[in-house]
Amino acid sequence: MSFQKFELHEKILAGVQMLGYQKPTPIQLQAIPLVTEGRDLMGLAQTGTGKTAAFVLPILQRFMEKPLGRIRALIIAPTRELSEQTHEAIKQLGHKTKLRSAAVYGGVSIHNQINRLRGNVEIISACPGRLLDHIERGTIDLSHVEVLVLDEADHMFDMGFLPDVRKIVKHLPKKRQTLLFSATMPDDVKSLAMDLLQNPVTIQIGHTAPVMTVAHRFYPVQMGIKTALLKDILEKTEMESVLVFTRTKSRAKSLAMQLDKSGHKVISLHGNLTQQKRKQALDGFRDGRYEIMVATDIAARGIDVTRISHVINYDMPSTADAYTHRIGRTGRASKTGDAFTFVTGDDLALAHSLKRILGEKLQYHNVAGLTSEIQKSSSKNNSPDMKSRNQRRPFARPAQTRRKPKQRSFGNTNRSSWSHRAPSAA
Ligand code: ADP
Ligand code: MG
């Protein structure tokens, strides 16, 4: 089945062709006809399986013949980086059409955005905070919005975002199409989300689980040894591009500084940076100037960097769903990837849950002199592991070679029993 079957305008098909998409992914196959019909929809499909085009293509199609100059579609996402990425995808898929998109997020000049919004765009890709800013200033007209998309929808219903999302929705016409997309949708959030939809269809591709194309490895390690272990892995493993997650902004910053001192091409991405620095970091990581990016969870959702071969959880994520999203930055578009997670005594509860869920796909891995049996720690050690520089002991271990990336089909979905949310790590 090719994209021809959707009867998309030839100018839209030109965008599909430019991006080299040969055939639709399962979520695209199911969602595009329903979105084209105008149905409200909850689209759940694993990370990296093409959810963006599943909503962008029918949105473009819907507005091909309509007058220009009014905002007709609004896409909301949790991070500036994801809003920007979706805006870029719209530009590429719609490059032959006359439809125009704008990204609306904070940290950059609001005046440029105001100029852009004056009758010049049909599609907005926004973060909630700056969008509300525009609403309050009266610098955006959302009264003609026909389609609302919440990307990373479950996250948009988290307490951090929900009040803003509610306010925004009040400014939209009641008669509209609403589309929710995510790789995860916990049951308690699902009922909240359903309130926003009218007579919706739910599409679920596979289970809301980590993608099949990723191999999972846990390293039991003491807090103070993490940096030494990371350096050892970076040295001995063949890697293309590595995304390292830390729990806090300051840990991302100091870990990147340490890796930089060890001669790695590394950059950090976290919320304490200016937007300009955030952009430089992600751009540099995308184009290969930096081999390693150390980031907080702002890089966990939606970000699509094709070259990431390894995700390393230097600090354990807070939930099983957060794990799914983080490791979903690798193994995208049917490529393979590796996910390494450092597990300390504080992380045992979530580690056990993940082990239960992933079963044989998850292996514990030991490195002589660096990993150790973990015991539940009584007090939480929040101080960054920055004292371990000289703690590394020499040991002999054969260098690992990276598995040859295998092409796997998009249809190869995970059938594991990823059905519940694990509790957060203690
Ligand atoms: P998701 O939102 O599901 O995590 P994305 O929409 O970010 O995934 O897409 C992941 C990657 O797959 C992107 O690089 C995108 O360009 C690519 N992609 C999307 N659809 C197709 C397709 N039909 N064929 C090949 N690649 C695709
Ligand atoms: Mg996405």
The pLDDT tens digits of the residues spanning 248-281 come to: 999 999 999 999 999 999 999 999 999 999 999 9
Can you read off the two tokens belonging to residue 2?
């090719």
Whether 129 shows a pLDDT value over 90: the answer reads yes
Q: How many Å apart are CA 276 and CA 281, to the nearest integer?
A: 9
Identify the residue whose C-alpha is closest to ligand 1 atom 4.
48
Handedness of CA 380, 385, 390, 394 (dihedral sign): positive
CA of 327 to the centre of ligand 1 (A): 16
CA of 43 to the centre of ligand 1 (A): 14
Identify the residue whose C-alpha is closest to ligand 1 atom 23.
24
Ligand nearest to the CA of 1: 1
CA of 352 to the centre of ligand 1 (A): 31
Pocket test for ligand 1, best of 19, 306, 327, 414 (most atoms within 8 A of CB): 19
Q: How many Å apart are CA 220 and CA 371, to the nearest integer?
A: 5
- The answer to whether 414 touches 44, Cβ cutoff 8 Å, is no
Confidence class for position 335, pLDDT limits 50, 70, 90: confident
CA of 265 to the centre of ligand 1 (A): 27
CA dihedral of residues 282, 304, 270, 185 (deg, nearest 10): 170
User: Which amino acid, residue 119?
Assistant: G
Can you read off the two tokens belonging to residue 190?
């699902």
3-state class (DSSP) for residue 365: coil
3-state class (DSSP) for residue 241: coil
CA of 46 to the centre of ligand 1 (A): 11
Ligand 1 neighbours (beta carbon < 6 A): 19, 21, 24-25, 28, 45, 47-53, 304, 306, 332-333
Ligand nearest to the CA of 325: 1
Token pair 């239960």 is at which residue? 356
Token pair 């955030």 is at which residue? 278
Pocket test for ligand 1, best of 6, 21, 22 (most atoms within 8 A of CB): 21
Identify the residue whose C-alpha is closest to ligand 1 atom 20.
50
Which stretch of DSSP H or E encloses residue 202?
strand 201-204
Model pLDDT, residue 19 = 97
Domain spans in the chain, listed from the N-terminal domain onward: 3-205, 214-409
Cα 234 to Cα 42, 111, 400: the distances in Å are: 39, 43, 10
Pocket test for ligand 1, best of 179, 308, 332, 410 (most atoms within 8 A of CB): 332
Q: How many Å apart are CA 326 and CA 47, to the nearest integer?
A: 9
Instruction: Judge whether 3-205 and 214-409 match in fold.
Output: yes
Give buried/exposed letters for 216-236 (b at 16+ CB in 10 A, else e): bbbbbbbbbbbbbbbbbbbee
Identify the residue whose C-alpha is closest to ligand 1 atom 1.
48
Residues in Cβ contact with 360 at an 8 Å cutoff, skipping those fewer than 6 apart: none
Query: What long-range pairs does 33-38 form, CB within 8 A, spacing at least 24?
Result: 33/6, 34/201, 34/203, 35/59, 35/177, 35/179, 36/6, 36/61, 36/62, 38/177
Measured from the Cβ of residue 421, the count of other Cβ atoms closer than 10 Å reads: 17
> What average pLDDT does the segment 81-101 reach?
98
Q: What is the pLDDT of residues 11-28, one digit of tens each?
A: 999 999 999 999 999 999
Ligand nearest to the CA of 306: 1
CA of 34 to the centre of ligand 1 (A): 19
- The answer to whether 128 touches 165, Cβ cutoff 8 Å, is yes
State which CATH number among 3.40.50.1470, 3.40.640.10, 3.40.50.300, 1.10.3720.10 fits the domain covering 3-205: 3.40.50.300
Chain centroid to CA 89: 14
CA of 54 to the centre of ligand 1 (A): 9
Q: In the chain, what percentage of residues exceed pLDDT 70?
A: 87
Pocket test for ligand 1, best of 49, 59, 93, 203 (most atoms within 8 A of CB): 49
Q: What is the pLDDT of residues 276-332, one digit of tens each?
A: 999 999 999 999 999 999 999 999 999 999 889 999 999 999 999 999 999 999 988
Can you read off the two tokens belonging to residue 280?
């430089």
Range scoring the smallest mean pLDDT among 216-225, 291-300, 353-362: 353-362
CA of 152 to the centre of ligand 2 (A): 7
Range scoring the smallest mean pLDDT among 25-39, 195-209, 367-381, 386-400: 386-400
Q: Any idea which architecture 214-409 has in CATH?
A: 3-Layer(aba) Sandwich (3.40)
Ligand 1 atom closest to the CA of 46, numbered from 1:
3
Average pLDDT of every residue of the chain: 88
CA of 219 to the centre of ligand 1 (A): 30
Q: In the chain, what percentage of residues exceed pLDDT 90?
A: 80
